[in-house]
Amino acid sequence: MTSTRIPPVSAPDVRRTPDSPPGRDPVDERLPLGRTLTLGLQHVLVMYAGVVAVPLVLAQALGLSAGQTVLLLNANLLVGGAATLVQTLGLWRFGARLPLVQGASFIALSPMLLIGQEHGLTTVFGSVIAAGAVTIAVAPFMSRLVRFFPPVVIGVLITVVGISLMPAAAGWLGGGQGSDDFGSLRNLLLGLLTVVVTVVLHAFGRGLVRSLAVLVALVVGTGVAAVAGATDFSHVADAGWFGVASPLAFGAPHLDLASVLVMSLAMLVILAETTGNVLAIGTITGSPITPRRLGAAFRADGLSTLVGGFLNGFPLNAFSQNTGLIAMTAVRSRFVVAAGGGVMIALGLFPKVGALVAAVPPAVLGGGAIVMFGMTTAAGIQELARVRYTGTNNALVVAVSVSVGVLPMAMPELFAQYDGPVALVLQSGIFLGAIAAVLLNLALNREDRATQGIPGPRSGEADDLTAHELDLLRRAMRVAETSRAEGRHPFGAIVVDGDGIVVAERGNNSLPPAGDPTQHAETAAVAAAARTLSSAQLARATLYTSAEPCAMCAGAVYWTGIGRVVYALSEERLLGLTGDNPENPTFALPCREVFARGQRHVTVVGPLLEEEAAAVHDGFWS
């Protein structure tokens, strides 16, 4: 029997801050309090202009008074900060527990303007509250979309997110669209100064200086702007020290069916963007994104929007700007972002502090944004670089979906004749890019799911194995079918020695009360093989399994000394099938990452024949 030997695979390259202790997930890392607060403030500075832009534009369009405008500003800062705490720290089943900064969504601005001009603010808040409830209700179904986002789709999404943010950066760089000195030499030089300071500190700085490159650059740029008379601190003195808006300050919410439908559609678009942002954060931090985690992020969006509507806030979603900051600083701690949420709450409670932050000139902010948004684009390109292109249609998927995604940015007038719900979809480049990438991937890569992913060890192909080996893998699937027919979970595994002889064959026997939770098909099979074969024979043996070994099973394979694993269904695909089923809380940790931590190499081939393997699970987990 011939076999394909694949070189060892290391774990994902998750960069850590210089003083991060080894072995700890950067997302859960706790930094010193002072540094946490400082880095959290940096996140707020990055997204502050975006947070205040939505209430400012809406207030101006609806002709609100200065007092009402300040009320909306404070309310959205307060709600955004609270939503960030939910998303980062978690609240029961709400919140992804990832470094996601929440703020008022630009996607909802257009429908809110439409509703506000037609019916007034009370109907705006009524539709926001109702749309938040709808979002919570659909979150479990939307979370299953993660299986439609292989690396080629994720890479497209991250790339389009970064590119689509560039018009905002350009607008800030010019001094703010509509300003009298837009595009002036002074504004461009301030932006250039901020870019140079950021690049120099990030490229040559060490430790805290490197992490705070953006914040330091914003401070330097603002200082130079103050000397040049390009910023005004007078409004800081005019702002009050403390102020809290009462709930429903504009009156009792009014429900209008058409308005609720339009806002609910906007929330679906927001969820598509949230998917991209969550997957981007997962890629940058190295944290696995499961349907459960994605659903928790969706529920947090819905809860924050629902409660925020009562508190005079608008629909929220994760801000892409902060994704670039995380990629650039390599500080992945969710507690840093939680600290930023606390700062936002403080800004919402203390208008004078918020006025001080608002003094950062748009041109300076634009300079920092160029670097950060560019880093987001670079993260997408890095993800696409890991995709297999030879012998696949992935190049076509990338070419078309990225092009479609940048259309609204490249030519905003292209869809100007459309309004209402259709305009929401057509004007969102991220949504268009996501839809194009998912559909093209499903249509063009249907025959070989493995080639959607990363070349080499991260994916397997049927051509890597002999016909006899494929038959052995299908035999493991038949064992899974038998296990299901006997009322047990549909998993099967066999162990074959170096001469091609099956020495062990087991189905899953972990289902209580009769079964043992540790008796997965793989653990049972390798244990039986270990009682039959010597250490030298085990090293030449292969485990064929209907699904990728979980962390426990991978550990069992490692300690029994089996030298090779061939699996059909990937852990990621299995997650999409089992969802939140309590009988199988899938451990979303690729077996290669478990093996990579050991001192002995285990060859892994897979996923293979996924459609056949998935068929065994049809209707079982629902």
Q: Which residues are catalytic?
A: 522
> Among 196, 62, 175, 80, which Cα is nearest to 116's?
62
Q: Which two tokens stand for residue 260?
A: 């609720």
Mapped onto helix, strand or coil, the DSSP state of residue 108 is coil
Tell me how crowded residue 117 is: count the other CB atoms within 10 A of its CB. 12
Q: What is the dihedral of CA 593, 594, 598, 602, to 10 degrees?
A: -80
Residue 309 CA to residue 253 CA, distance in Å, equals 9
Convert 568-582 to b/e letters by CB count within 10 Å (16 or more is b): bbbbbbbbbbbbbee
Q: Can you list the alpha helix ranges (DSSP code H) found in 144-256?
A: 151-164, 166-173, 185-204, 208-211, 213-227, 234-238
> Among 509, 502, 490, which Cα is nearest to 613's?
490
Longest CA–CA span in the chain (Å) reads 84
Tell me how crowded residue 207 is: count the other CB atoms within 10 A of its CB. 11
State the residue for tokens 């880093």: 375
Residue 448 CA to residue 593 CA, distance in Å, equals 23
* Integer angstrom CA distances of residue 193 from 48, 209, 363, 556: 20, 17, 10, 56
Number of residues that this document lists for the chain: 622
* Integer angstrom CA distances of residue 339 from 88, 134, 349, 355: 10, 29, 15, 19
Q: Cβ contacts of residue 338 below 8 Å, gap of 6+?
A: 40, 84, 85, 88, 89
